[in-house]
Amino acid sequence: MSDAFHKATVQQMGGMLTALAKILDKVEQHCEAKKIDPSVLLNARLFPDMFDFKRQVQMTADFAKGAAGRLSGQEPPAFADTETTIPELKGRIAKTIDYLKTIGPAEFAGAMTREITIAPGGNKMTFSGEDFANRFSLPNFYFHMTSAYAILRKNGVEVGKWDFMGRA
């Protein structure tokens, strides 16, 4: 069971992060072709009270490494949120993918029933590993990944469903 749970979480998020890195390549190409300062897209938002594009990318990576670490019984690494360029965001994604590769199915033994306690915003929450993955980590991962994608689409970057899914 730990192998299937690992595939559904760590491997899936790693694949999606790889797709996000490729999308960032398209952002660079778009900015170059349209003579747009990349900071315009990096600071773009869907709505004023939402995170900007770069923060959406950071959060996508954070939820991946947070899930992988906690489900494997480890404390995930902390990354400073200092990225201001596309290459820096790609570096963060690469560091996250490298971290995910260190966590194999063996580390997921007992992950579904492992008790996981977090305190986002000071609000203590305790989950079983299965609920942590399915009701917290994966929904947040996909929320931020989708928000990043939507910001780009809203701003005319030519990415589609297959880019999002890593099939382009």
Q: What is the pLDDT of residues 118-162, one digit of tens each?
A: 999 999 999 999 999 999 999 999 999 999 999 999 999 999 999
Q: Which of 94, 97, 92, 100 is nearest to 74 (CA)?
A: 100
In the chain, what are the domains? 2-164 (1.20.120.450)
Whether residue 1 has pLDDT greater than 80: no
45's tokens:
């938002």
Q: Say which residue the tokens 């995930």 belong to.
A: 76
Global pTM reads 0.96
Cα–Cα distance, 70 to 68 (Å, whole number): 6
Cα–Cα distance, 15 to 29 (Å, whole number): 22
3-state secondary structure of 87: helix
Q: How confident is the model at residue 24 (pLDDT cuts 50, 70, 90)?
A: very high
